[in-house]
Amino acid sequence: MNVASKSDHNPDRAAANRWAALSVLFIANFMNLIDVSIVNVALPQIQADTRATPTQLEWIAAIYVLALAVGLLPCGRFGDVFGRRRMFVWGLMGFTLSSAICGLAPDVFSLIVARALKGIAAAMMVPQVLAIAHVIFPPEERSRVFGMFGTVSSLAVVAGPIIGGALISADIGGLGWRLAFLVNIPLGLAALIGTRLFVPELDTDTRTRPDWIGTALFSIAAVLLVLPLIEGRALGWPWWCFAAIAASGPVAFGFIVYERRRSAAGQPALMPPGLLANGPYLRRLGLVALFFSGIPGLFLVLAVFLQSGFGLTALQSGLVTTPFPVGVMLASMTTERFGNHYLSLRIATGAALLVIGMIWLRSVILSTGAELNPYAFTPPLLICGFGIGTAIMSLFQVTMSSVETQDAGAGSGAMQAFQQIGAALGIAIAGTIFFGSLGEGGMEIEADIAPRFVHAAATATHYSIAVFATLAVLVGVSALSAGKDTK
């Protein structure tokens, strides 16, 4: 697929602008990632201001990643059909506008709805980032681009808690937690201007039509899986929760069957036939979902643990968790030099480091008494961050390596969709474990609240430990059985 915009008439200009275009794409990705990390820091303040229930807090965090997960695959394919630059601009505009709506939301329900809209807008924007970069850069430069992507992503995660905590603590204009969402407005406007100046139009397949039935099946399967996990605990786990989870499997299977039949009939499919027939790619999507289910829920738990349990401010909470993204950034910069080498080893090593770090973090939480020692969290969080940074870009590289250029949008969208499905599942499961372990009193202030928070947070870490131990074993066994590194 070739650059089509003004690059058709002036290819040298388009080639010269590719690094400026990449900067604009990274701003958009930065906005998406910073939004995820900022909201965790803002949740306790939102709860104090709006009296949100634990379930509503889970929804504020999870609805964004759920909407993003549901929309990523179809929007990645829509980028191939309608134009990747066009979808990117629409998503960027929607993301900026919905950020303003979040910042002005009058109540919890309005905030949850605005977060859902924001997730849909992000789904339009995010898959185009890697898809456009995949096309405008030659193969010999893509490894460097992936490494830069990991570094910028790490910076976003670093900046999120600190910027969010600083803005909330500063309480400029009495806006408090609302500033955590309003900060995206100037970033979005800058990205829109940069897109117009530097990001080229790309060729589209005008013969392809959207696969609406496939989109509906994929969305229903995702919602059936995640919705009961979030609502089940608050509702006492009624029968329909288990029925919905059970139904998500057949619906997902129906999606795959429908897509294969559609492809066999020569009709455009949400999942192109090349991806459906690509066994290594499909297996790696499962690893992506598993990998990303282990972290987001834990950081929701840590934010509530530090602020509601031990009275830290949003800024202090953000600073306590800063070693994690610092570790991610250090690992990303370190592993960038390896390029496409030792990918399986890097994934397995990163997962093993995460297991070590999570076990250490659990020990620190359990040793916390009435007074919190924030410095005790630094070593385990740094190790966990280094583990994530060691594995994450290798997992992205090995997953996208088998995707053909014409399916780059769908491949990137599917990969990031499974990433967000994993994140939504992780938030739902870790939130259910944590808030369920708090017991009858919930987050109400009581004399024994610190011990209850310690017990609940330590219990919630079990899920992340199990996730990364499983991932390390799966990747390690796969690499050993293959007898060589996965490229």
Tokens found for residue 39: 């909201």
CB 399 within 8 A of CB 281: yes
Tokens found for residue 370: 């009435």
Which of these, 146, 125, 148, lies nearest to 134 by C-alpha position?
Answer: 146
Residue 112 has a pLDDT of 93
Residue 485 has a pLDDT of 45
Give this prediction's pTM. 0.72
Q: Which single residue is written with the structure tokens 């899920």?
A: 463
Question: CA 226 to CA 395: how far, in whole Å?
Answer: 24
Task: Give pLDDT < 50 ranges for the chain.
Answer: 1-11, 483-487
Residue 153 has a pLDDT of 66
Residue 250 has a pLDDT of 93
Position 351, amino acid = A
How many other C-beta atoms can be found within 10 angstroms of the C-beta atom of residue 283?
A: 12
Question: CA 299 to CA 459: how far, in whole Å?
Answer: 14
Angle between helices 54-82 and 18-50 (to 10 degrees): 160
Residue 6 has a pLDDT of 41
Residue 8 has a pLDDT of 39
Q: Which single residue is written with the structure tokens 């992507």?
A: 149
Question: CA 192 to CA 185: how far, in whole Å?
Answer: 11
